[in-house]
Structure 1
Amino acid sequence: MKYTPPAPEDLERLKQGLNLSSAQMADLFGVAGGRQWRKYTGGTEPREMSPHILFFAMARLELDAETIERILNRMRAAGATIELDSQ
């Protein structure tokens, strides 16, 4: 797979377009919190977004709730414990 991560400016533009806070973006992307999210969008050496984190967030934006739940159930069947709405 060839992958070039989005630039920090692209991620900030997405955040602004969705009108979400850093904490909400962290939740969407499945990262620890707003502070963690900001590591992808700023600082002297911003962290590169890995493809699996970006895919997770974009899937949550594009797929309907039924499809997301079907995927989560498959993850559970593979042995994972996951609840998206839990902290």
Structure 2
Amino acid sequence: MKTIQNYVPPNAQSLQRLQDRLGYSDAKMAELAGLDASTPWPSFVGGPEPRSLGRQRLFYMMARLTLEEQEWQRVLAAMAEVGARFEYTDAHAADPAPPPEPMADEERKFGMLLVSRNGSFHEMEQLREFARFAHESDVSRFVHSAFYDSDIDLCRFSFADHDGLDDASRDRIFDAAHKTITRFEFDGRIYQGGILPESDG
């Protein structure tokens, strides 16, 4: 039987891009990866030394994203047949009429993908201002995306693979974020910046 060999895990930037594309919160990504409270999802996508995602866990994640529900149920049934015991429930199955999920908003500006999970006008305005300052500071090419997680009021950045991304460039990106973003994560730390937004309500 063939097995996966010479496995190289995706880096933190790649995992952050996946999360941005899916529009999932950290809690949803932890659920997707089958993580428990002792291993939070942000430890894989941030901080000075991000964790590596093992091949079994990555396989599990991609299987859940790729397989239709009927196929996924067949896998679970096969697990049970060999003696595994577990619970598998849809947390939303009992909700009679769940409210519609807010629609994400995204756009590209100066080559950067700007995303607000819940489509907040004020978050998008902050992201556009960030993009403008980053462009004026000649560092927009280093930023792949800026994702504002409305659920936790936190903006995260993923950096493009670029040889010229030195400490001075990172400082200019930080300065652009600090001028424009109310709450953001940078190098594993949370910062307050920008001007407090008005309420959308």
Give the TM-score of the pair, scaled to structure 2: 0.41
From the two aligned structures, give the one with the greater helix fraction: 1
Unmatched 5+ stretches in structure 2? 92-201
CA pair 63-86 structure 1, distance change in 2 beyond 3 A: closer
Unmatched 5+ stretches in structure 1? none
Q: Which aligned segments of 4 or more residues in structure 1 are displaced greater than 4 angstroms?
A: none
Higher relative contact order (CA 8 A, sep 6+): 1
1:86 Cα shift? Answer: 6.7
- Identity over aligned residues, as a percent? 37
CA RMSD of aligned residues (A): 1.9
From the two aligned structures, give the one with the greater strand fraction: 2
1:85 Cα shift? Answer: 3.0
Q: Which region of structure 1 is more displaced relative to structure 2, 18-27 or 74-83?
A: 74-83
Instruction: Output one character per residue of 1:22-74: Cα deviation in whole Å (capped at 9) or x when no partner.
Output: 000000111115x6111111111111000000000100000011111111011
Paired residue for 1:8, among 12, 22, 36?
Answer: 12
For 1:57, give the aligned amino acid: M
> Which of the pair has more CA radius of gyration?
2
Query: What pairs up with 1:18-33 in 2 under 5 angstroms?
Result: 18-33=22-37
Paired residue for 2:81, among 74, 77, 81?
Answer: 77
Q: Hey, what does 2:48 align to over in structure 1? A: 44
